Amino acid sequence: MKKYVWLNIETGKFSNSWDEEMHNRCFKDQNELIEHHKVNPTWKLICYESITDPDFEFNRFMIIK
């Protein structure tokens, strides 16, 4: 199952993840994502899935260093 998460490439912090159903309900128009990126260029939207652990998800307590 695909999941989505925001990553701030400046700080290495993640948002909480959400599933594809939630993503499609919240972002019906791709222009919303483009506008978000213009206002918040350090935040990158990542679509992912874990092959070995379907329950795995990134969360706001995780940081890339």
Q: Per-residue pLDDT tens for 19-51?
A: 999 999 988 888 888 888 899 999 999 999 999
On the question of pLDDT at 17 being above 90, the answer is yes
Determine, yes or no, domain membership for 26.
yes
Determine, yes or no, domain membership for 65.
no
Determine, yes or no, domain membership for 57.
no
Enter the pTM of the model.
Answer: 0.86
On the question of pLDDT at 60 being above 90, the answer is yes
Closest CA to 5 of 56, 39, 65: 56
Determine, yes or no, domain membership for 60.
no
Domain range spanning residue 31? 3-48
Determine, yes or no, domain membership for 58.
no
On the question of pLDDT at 61 being above 90, the answer is yes
In this structure, what token pair is assigned to residue 23?
């993503």
pLDDT band at residue 65 using 50, 70 and 90 as cut-offs: confident
On the question of pLDDT at 11 being above 90, the answer is yes
Structural domains counted in the chain: 1
Determine, yes or no, domain membership for 37.
yes
Phi and psi angles of residue 24, each rounded to the nearest 5 degrees, phi first:
-65, -30
